[in-house]
Amino acid sequence: MKSQGKAKRKVHLGEFFIEKALQLFAAISILTTIAIIFTLFQETFIFFQEVSIIEFFTSKMWTPTLHPRNFGILPLLVGTMMIALGSSIIALPLGLFTAIYLSEYAHKKVRSVVKPVLEILAGIPSIVYGFFALTFITPILQKILPQTQVFNAASASIAVGIMITPMVASLSEDAMMAVPDSIRQGAYALGSTKFEVAMKVIVPACLSSIASAFVLAISRAVGETMIVAIAAGASPTLTFNPLKSIQTMTGFMVNISLGDIQHGTIEYKTVFAVGALLFVITFMMNIVAKLIVNKYREEY
């Protein structure tokens, strides 16, 4: 009896320490996030004491390191949205149809090969994609469209789209595989074809998870750094032509960080202002994803 009591006390003591350790790890992650947000918005607040917020969101010129200085974020914002839109046009349908193939059409042996290859593709460093866009995609675009500049938004969008496709495919395929097989068999029993089962039964059944995968991939495209810094260029000009050189918010942050800027200057604070706007954009996208999940969630 005494030995059993000691064993129970040891178990309870071990559970106590595990619980406290997990609480500590959770607290560290929360405090780290709070510290990052505080640092980001503290410098941003100081920036907007020197720069008009109206100029920041309405001016079409972005030259914070040149004289005269202009602090219009529109060129960087438009450049970022161009990359996000272009990569989404490539990645979202390609990733979704790849997931449908793996889930509904592919043989188990084929799935066991293709799925790991997708995971490997997702693990390639983004800087490799950047040089791939610059040395492979851009020359092809220049042969097709001679007016394509060396640095351009189109090649960067294609590379980012290729990079985020495995994310869409993997997450969507996992969601489709989680749908009970009895739903498929019921649809087949009613005379549905494989394509009808996939598009009219399986996809609607896991629509919330697929939408979350889409939003997550778009957020990844918005926050991509190295591909756009290498392939898209560093020209903060307001243009909607994907064949011209642009600059994104992340690309600007990379370029300004590599330069010789003094701590505390207005050029230094622009990094935090741009980073704060980028944080707000991705945060809003995550909120939208959460709302979509809550609205269309299906439980089995």
pLDDT in tens, 255-293: 887 766 777 788 888 999 999 999 999 888 888 888 877
> How much is the pLDDT for 281?
92
> How much is the pLDDT for 298?
64
Give the other-Cβ count within 10 Å of 5's Cβ.
9
Structural domains counted in the chain: 2
Q: How many helices (H) and strands (E) does the chain have?
A: 14, 2
Q: By residue range, what is the domain housing residue 219? A: 70-296
pTM of the complete model: 0.88
Degrees, nearest 5: CA angle 84-89-94: 120
Do 179 and 209 reside in the same domain of the chain? yes
The answer to whether residue 57 is domain-embedded is: no
Do 94 and 43 reside in the same domain of the chain? no
Confidence of residue 80 (pLDDT cuts 50, 70, 90): very high
Query: Domain with 198 in it: what CATH number?
Result: 1.10.3720.10
Please write the tens of the pLDDT for every residue from 147-176.
999 999 999 999 999 999 999 999 999 889
Do 189 and 100 reside in the same domain of the chain? yes
**In the chain, what percentage of residues exceed pLDDT 70?**
94
Do 233 and 177 reside in the same domain of the chain? yes
> How much is the pLDDT for 11?
62
Give the other-Cβ count within 10 Å of 30's Cβ.
10
Our CA dihedral for 172, 173, 176, 177, rounded to 10 degrees, sits at -150
Do 87 and 45 reside in the same domain of the chain? no
Asked if 66 and 208 touch (Cβ cutoff 8 Å), the reply is no
The answer to whether residue 65 is domain-embedded is: no
> How much is the pLDDT for 295?
74
Do 80 and 142 reside in the same domain of the chain? yes
